[in-house]
């Protein structure tokens, strides 16, 4: 009988390159995350790595082009924030950025900005209010607004003190094709079902590290 650990290992081996992991943040040698100033109030924001931004734009533009041409090859982006421990992927957060907006036809606002230079939404990893990096930065830099309790948990999990990471933190994203396979039996699964599958499995395997709240 295949164990849950083996299922996760097989799937990550298939899709995630742990030989060349992409750092989520731009850091110095001591793992202190660099920052930039952003927005009308010039607030401090944690800085994503150039490799991470390149990956998101490259994968995101696959989905954008798919929407533009109506090829319907891709469902959207799947992404994972993770640690590497003993050569294994320890997931911290999994999520998605679907291709369509709320009307089910227009391109999602979370992806739209990837066509240009905007980093406000950035496939949900943007600098703006109510996006992952913006919200996490609000906790780290004690911004007056936007300090969601959820991101206090993120800050405590990721950071030792101040802007110093507990350990190298990596990011993976993939434009999810309709013929890509999920965790079970090599069956093709749509993006929404994939996210559901992954959260269900890793909630059991990694309850102490996973930052997803009730499937969110």
Please tell me the distance from the alpha carbon of residue 127 to that of residue 37, in angstroms, as a whole number.
10
Please tell me the distance from the alpha carbon of residue 118 to that of residue 31, in angstroms, as a whole number.
26
What's the pLDDT tens digit per position in 34-66? 999 999 999 999 999 999 999 999 999 999 999
pLDDT of residue 112 exceeding 70: yes
Confidence tier at 1 by pLDDT (50, 70, 90): confident
Confidence tier at 148 by pLDDT (50, 70, 90): confident
Is there a contact between 212 and 203 (Cβ–Cβ < 8 Å)?
A: yes
Dihedral sign computed on CA atoms, order 78, 134, 89, 212: negative
Confidence tier at 215 by pLDDT (50, 70, 90): very low
User: Which residue matches tokens 């507990």?
Assistant: 166
The pTM assigned to this predicted structure is 0.95
What's the pLDDT tens digit per position in 14-29? 999 999 999 999 999 9
Query: What is the rounded average pLDDT of the residues 93-113?
Result: 96
Q: What is the pLDDT of residue 70?
A: 87
Is there a contact between 52 and 132 (Cβ–Cβ < 8 Å)?
A: no
Break the chain into its structural domains and give their ranges.
Answer: 4-205
Is there a contact between 141 and 33 (Cβ–Cβ < 8 Å)?
A: no
Residue 96 in tokens: 């998605």
Q: What is the pLDDT of residue 147?
A: 63
Q: What is the pLDDT of residue 146?
A: 64
pLDDT of residue 154 exceeding 70: yes
Q: What is the pLDDT of residue 216?
A: 45
Q: Tell the burial category of 127 from Cβ atoms under 10 Å away from its Cβ (0-12, 13-18, 19+).
A: buried
């Amino acid at each position: 009988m295949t164990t849950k650990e083996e299922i996760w290992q097989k799937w990550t081996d298939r899709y995630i390159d742990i030989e060349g992991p992409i750092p989520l943040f731009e850091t110095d040698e001591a793992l202190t995350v660099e920052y930039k100033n952003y927005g009308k109030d010039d607030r401090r924001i944690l800085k994503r790595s150039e490799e991470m931004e390149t990956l998101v734009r490259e994968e995101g533009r696959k989905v954008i082009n798919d929407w533009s041409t109506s090829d319907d090859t891709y469902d959207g982006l799947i992404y994972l924030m993770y640690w590497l421990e003993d050569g294994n992927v320890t997931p911290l957060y999994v999520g998605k950025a679907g291709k369509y907006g709320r009307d089910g036809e227009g391109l999602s606002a979370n992806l739209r900005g990837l066509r240009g230079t905007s980093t406000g939404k950035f496939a949900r990893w943007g600098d703006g209010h109510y996006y992952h990096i913006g919200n996490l930065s609000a906790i780290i830099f004690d911004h007056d607004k936007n300090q969601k309790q959820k991101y206090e948990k993120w800050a405590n999990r990721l950071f030792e003190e101040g802007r110093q990471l507990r350990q190298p933190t990596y990011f993976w994203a993939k434009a999810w094709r309709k013929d890509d396979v999920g965790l079970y039996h090599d069956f093709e699964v749509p993006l929404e079902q994939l996210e559901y599958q992954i959260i269900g499995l890793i909630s059991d395997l990694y309850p102490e590290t996973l930052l997803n709240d009730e499937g969110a």
